[in-house]
Each structure stands twice: as C-alpha cells, then as structure tokens.
Structure 1
C-alpha cells in the first residue's frame, strides 16, 4: 500500500493524522481538504471492524460536491489497491419525498456514503461524519447536533469550510474553539500557508505536462489567484470572514424577537395536483389564502 506521506501535502497530512473526535478546519478555497478527507475515508472503510474500520458519512451543501467526493474516494481506493465496489447512486424513499444518496461498498463490510446536508440524514447511523463547506449548509447547529450523536459509540466528526461571513455559525464555532469554550481540535490553512507547504509545487508536478517550478512562477500564480478573487480574497483565501456576507439577520437576532404567543400558521396545498394548476388560478387561490 502506498504511503500517505508520499501523496499528501504536509497540511493535508496533519489533518488526516489528527485523531481527535471532533476537528474543525478553516481553510482557503481549493487547497485539497476534501481530497485528503476522501483518502482518510477510504483507509477507514477498508479496515475490518477489529482493526477500527467504520462507515463514513459525507454531507455538503450541494450535490456536485458530494459526487466529486465519492469520485475521489473511488480514485483513492484504486490507488491504494483496496477492494471496493463501484460508486452507486441510490434513490431512497423518505417520508414525502425521494432522496438521492451515493455509496461505495468495501470488502470489509463498511461503506462511504454521500448524504443530503440535513440532520435526519444521520438518523440511526454510526461512524465518521464529514461536514464539508459547513459555512454554507442551511442549518449547521442542527446538523452538528445530529452528527455529535454518532460520537457516543466511537465515531468522529470533521467540520471543514471556507468562511461565509462574520456572523455565520461556522465562524462562531471557530471563535468558541479559540476562546476555549469548545475543546475541539482546530486547523487553519490560508493560501500562503498552503503555498509554504508546497501547494504550487504539487500543482506543477501534477500538471499535464508537468511544469517547471520557480519562485517567480509561484509568485505570479499567487498574484493571479488573488486577482481572480478580487474583493473576496481575504475571506476566500486568507480565512478572514467578511463583515458584509452571511445572513443580515442572524438566527440569534431572529429568535430574540420571537414570541410564543404568536401562532404558527401553516399553508397546505388544496389538492395533490396543485402544482399542475394554471398559474393564474393557483395565484388567485394563494392570494385568497394570504
């Protein structure tokens, strides 16, 4: 089996080597964090239960990221010569709607799953949980609450993301770790940290055809990346949350204005084929209800 040290950049190795039950990574965009998690997931799923193997459940805010993660897992399984089945796309019935999930099954009996970023996706599960680009999921606190339930029987939770505003729950989590309120492991990797660890050299080696590395070329590449992100560079590349992004009204602000005396009124469609009604008829009915 290939050595992890030979295929990962140092900051990726530090993340994979961190065996804390809960670990958080604030990071620059596009520096291979999910790629490293895919490798760790394959190594876990390939082991027997006696050796500490377990399932992995990956959740992110969009389907394309989940598909990419599963493809990366399939790639690592091939690189490490691990016996695994083909990646599967499954449609599961869940209450009132169908849910698309992804799975790779291993000879060990364990699997890697790509799930929708909803707390109920983790019901009755056991194993490792990865919440990727956590600052962009709809309800990070509830998703974390569901993920932490898996810790009771020996699982782990990895939370990784670029920032999405100063008031975002992900940034609040990072601040709580730094202040000692939450005793989780925290990693931080900016674009410059990644370059210092050899990111651009790795890009040069893996380019087709391979590029010749030089300090001048590296500095030119760095300047181009920063120019591409323009005003968003601090947040996207240097882990500095933007004051103007994220939710204008935070959850805490909204909850402080809520009153239990105000009733919650729920609208229900008048017929199963309501979505097929003529637009004008549906609009008239809806205005009447309002």
Structure 2
C-alpha cells in the first residue's frame, strides 16, 4: 500500500504560478479494501499528522455536495473518526491541508471570458431584536426558495438544527430561545454545506480583477469552455498572491443555478452566456 499523489488542478497549475500554490500541500489518496483497512488507517494517521500537520480535511476520493467530508480536523482522534466516515462512502479517500480563516468561493467561467462568483456561507440567522433564534430559523426556512434536504430542483435548503447547532450556540451562551439583538449574525453550522442550510452570496462585482484573470487562466490552461472552480481564500476582494489560498477542485458540470438564485446579492445570468456559447460553436 502506498500513498499516491492526486494530480489535480493544484499540482498542474502550480507549475504556472509557484507563488499561489507554494503553501498548498499536495493531496494524497488512500485506496483500500477490507483486508487493508487497519494498516491504511494507521498509515493515513501518520501521513496526515507528520506530512501535512493539523488542521486537516478528509474527503472521499469520489463524491459530490460534500458527502462524508470532514473539515478543520485538529487531532488524531478527529482524524481517525473522519477517515472512518469517509470510507463509508468510498474505499478511497483524500487527506489535505485545511486553510483556516477562509471562505469557499465558486467561480463559473464560460468561454474563457465570462466569470461569475458566489461565496458559500454556513447556515445563519440575523437578529431582529424581537424574535428567538428558533423563530428566526423557522422564518428563514419558510422561504419558498428553500427545500428539504431530500428534495430535488432546489439550490438552497432549510436550515438543519442538530448537535453542531446546539454546541455553537452554547459556546456563545445562547440557546434556541435566545432573542438576538438587531442585526446580530449567528452561525448555526461550522461548514457552508447547502444541504445544512448554507447560503450563497453573489460577489462577482467585488472580486479583485487579478482573481478574475486567475479563473480565466485556469479555464484556458485546461481548455475547458465551461468550468466551475472551487476556490478557497480569506478575502476575494484582495489579490490572491497576497493570501494563503488554493483551488479545491474543478467541475466540468458546474451548478450555474447558484448564480441565478443566491440567498443574497445580484443574480448573474450564466445561462444566457451558456446559450450564446452553444450557438457560437455548435450551430
């Protein structure tokens, strides 16, 4: 059993921009079967602890919408738990470095020119000085644009209240019956997963021009006329070279509805640009 490098966009783009990816660790994957599970887990623990160092991320090698992904892993026990979780979904998993104090941005590039960007944010509510946290959640969940986690044809989903929510509230001496002061923002999940009620903020007009150029260059480098780029960075309004940042992955079939139906911000008409692309090259 060996740890194989996953030559993703991080490895390839690094050759073109060493500064951007100088702090990004190479992803490593573990391929296992039942007979190898114990040995692989031990080696994965050693690799994550010694080669990458905490905090870490563990995810299945294949998958979508962040199924069985664990982020911000701080110690050996959390890492082992995350590995066990990942292999439920896939016999191969990836360990990578977690970039702290950053946001996930999704950039969709069409025909190497048009770029639209949204920021994913964890499920949250904003106080009005009158309503309890529970009431604010119910109000937000009543929005017709939010579906149940198992429903299709939805971009946004209802906020899920579970153990993580209760723990986060307790850390602030809050509970579901706490009345928040006006304009106070409280996050109810650690991760910005849409299935947990995460939000989408359209930020295209705020993105630094050099970051826009980076997204276009990535599309050109891979010669993909339609691509979604998951980008991790603390501040999208600042030059990427001045920050610890990285590309998580590329998606050949991006979810363009994120730009059409954000929870806040000005929607971007990606579909129209995509139609223009189709007529330009295929008709």
Q: TM-score, normalised by structure 2?
A: 0.24
Higher relative helix content: 1
Q: TM-score, normalised by structure 1?
A: 0.24
Larger radius of gyration: 1
